[in-house]
Amino acid sequence: MMIMQLDNAWTLVAAMATILLGMRIHRVLPMLDRANIPPAVSAGLLLAVLLALLRAGGIVDVRLATVPRDVLLLVFFASLGFGAHLGRLATAGKSALVICLAVVLVAVGQNLAGMLLASAFGQPAVLGLFAGSAAYLGGHGTATAWASAAHVEGALELGLGSATLGLVLGGLVAGPVAAWLARRAEAVARAAGAPDAAQTAPD
């Protein structure tokens, strides 16, 4: 089987070509846009299946460089907040500020718990960050990006495992809680919109 190893430059070219292919696919299938599926995901999934079939058939094994992925992941997650409008956030009222404060406190609490857990097992405290907000608030992408930058043994495995655990538990908890909140909001709205019994009573 032929092995095709792409260097950093050709990996970036392949990534950009994949996005352009995805945009072409979305023009042909506008339902993908309506479903809010990114072009990179549409074409990436198609090419991933195609490359997997070529590898399984013993035809060619295309291997991409990982350095551009690691760098671009860091750039992506570090720049997520650049689009935030602090003026609008300030006018959003107390509820938005309370949510922001709660997120900050949760992140700090997760990191402290992770660092204490790592220290209890005789591991570097920085490893605990991958059992903290890097995984639970950031998810798999953030854990992967910072693991490549931290150069700490076991960081990637711990980060991905923690992110998966958070994803599973979040899915198990979020569904029932969201359903309960929806039923509660519906009941409150129904009670607020119901006519007063005294006004509807017959004379």
- In this predicted structure, what is the pLDDT of residue 195? 52
The whole-angstrom separation of Cα 181 and Cα 64 is: 45
Of 151, 152, 155, the C-alpha closest to 132 is: 155
Q: pLDDT (tens digit, 9 = 90+) per residue, 154-173? A: 898 898 889 888 877 877 78
**Span 70-116, pLDDT tens digits:** 788 777 767 766 766 666 666 767 777 788 889 899 999 999 999 99
Residue found under tokens 């352009």: 20
pLDDT band at residue 28 under the 50/70/90 scheme:
very high
pLDDT of residue 41: 85
- Write the DSSP assignment of 23-55 as a string of letters: HHHHHH-THHHHTT--HHHHHHHHHHHHHHHHH
Longest dimension (CA), the chain: 91
Give 13's Cβ-side CA count (13 Å radius): 5
pTM of whole model > 0.85?
no
- Which residues 6+ apart lie within 8 Å of 158 measured at CB? 127, 130, 131, 135
Token pair 């949760």 in the structure block, residue: 106
pLDDT value at 196 more than 60: no
Please give the Cα distance from 99 to 91 (Å, whole number). 14
The share of the chain scoring above pLDDT 70, in percent, equals 89
pLDDT of residue 99: 84
> What is the arithmetic mean of pLDDT over 11-34?
91
Q: Read off φ and ψ for residue 5, nearest 5 degrees.
A: -100, 115
How many H helices and E strands in the chain? Answer: 10, 2
pLDDT score for 23: 94
25-51 mean pLDDT: 88
**Structure confidence at residue 198 (pLDDT):** 45
Most confident of 94-108, 113-127, 139-153: 113-127
